[in-house]
């Protein structure tokens, strides 16, 4: 499962309305989102998710069928569950293409599956993989991307380089619910930093929603500002919370953060997204097999 993204410009309003729980965006909000999608040339999320599914299918082999379900756009989670029913499947494993658990992210996907199950396939039993943020293959895959990205900096820049790990912000109120999201993100970041031998690193949230709620911080742009004020001129951003290229990566980091960094004299680079990395396919297939055999 993944978040979903519109296929065409004319779908953006309906997509945005679904994200907003049926409330249509204002004309200004819609225009801004359309401009962002145009700036990145459209989201590759569905294509990459399809590649991820195909790679997992190849790793699992015969005896398993892999389905794609999106939370906010086509192909919907409901459609995936309906397809399972039509094929006579009564046991499944659900996994979200996001490593860290939160009641406001992963649990929402689970809720969508359970709604669909109650609606069209009550006989279907689904066992959920709720997080995989500490898995060694995930850490190794990120470490490899960091090693590759470090080649973009000069020897002098590497001496003062600072790595900023990021993830999507969520409303701060989750902390009052003992939600593990922030702790899991910091745990992943520490594991990757240790594996990569990185001493100078910090964590930042990005892509906060524009609501009346207070969202988790510090924000990436604020962290970049603080680092620059402390003399840091080379920053590598590693998005441990995002494994796939989409709007929050291709626009929020590659365009917005990059533009800001250049303006204040910082050399900013980003690690490549994992996307359909072969290591992840091996990891996901292994997690699925284990879930199927849990008693």
- pLDDT tens for residues 56-100? 999 999 999 999 999 999 999 999 999 999 999 999 999 999 999
pLDDT, average across residues 147-170: 98
Q: How far apart are alpha carbons 70 and 79 in whole angstroms?
A: 9
Using pLDDT thresholds of 50, 70 and 90, give the confidence band for residue 51: very high
| CB-facing half-sphere around the CA of 126: CA atoms within 13 A | 25
Does residue 295 have a pLDDT over 70?
A: no
Using pLDDT thresholds of 50, 70 and 90, give the confidence band for residue 211: confident
- pLDDT tens for residues 281-292? 999 999 999 999
Q: Token pair of 60, please?
A: 């699992």
Q: How far apart are alpha carbons 174 and 241 in whole angstroms?
A: 17
Residue 293, pLDDT score: 85
């Amino acid at each position: 499962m993944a978040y979903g993204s519109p296929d065409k410009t004319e779908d953006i309003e309906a997509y945005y309305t679904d994200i907003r729980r049926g409330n249509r965006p204002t004309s200004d909000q819609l225009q801004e989102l359309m401009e962002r999608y145009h700036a990145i040339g459209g989201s590759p999320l569905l294509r990459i998710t399809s590649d991820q599914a195909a790679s997992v299918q190849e790793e699992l082999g015969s005896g398993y069928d892999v389905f794609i379900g999106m939370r906010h756009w086509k192909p919907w989670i409901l459609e995936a569950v309906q397809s399972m029913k039509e094929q006579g499947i009564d046991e499944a494993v659900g996994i979200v293409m996001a490593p860290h658990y939160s009641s406001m992210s992963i649990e929402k996907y689970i809720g969508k599956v359970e709604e669909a199950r109650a609606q069209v396939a009550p006989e279907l039993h689904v066992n959920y993989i709720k997080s995989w943020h500490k898995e060694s293959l995930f850490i190794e895959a990120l470490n490899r991307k960091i090693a590759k990205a470090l080649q973009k900096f000069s020897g002098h820049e590497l001496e003062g380089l600072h790595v900023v790990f990021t993830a999507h912000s969520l409303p701060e109120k989750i902390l009052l619910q003992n939600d593990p999201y922030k702790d899991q993100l910091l745990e992943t970041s520490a594991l990757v930093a240790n594996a990569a031998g990185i001493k100078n690193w910090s964590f930042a949230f990005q892509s906060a929603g524009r609501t009346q709620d207070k969202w988790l911080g510090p924000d990436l742009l604020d962290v970049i500002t603080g680092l620059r004020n402390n003399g840091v001129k080379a920053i590598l951003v590693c998005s441990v919370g995002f494994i796939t290229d989409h709007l929050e990566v291709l626009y929020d980091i590659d365009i917005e953060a990059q533009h800001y960094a250049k303006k204040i004299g910082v050399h900013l680079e980003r690690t490549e997204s994992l996307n359909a990395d072969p290591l992840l396919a091996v990891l996901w297939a292994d997690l699925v097999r284990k879930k199927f055999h849990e008693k």
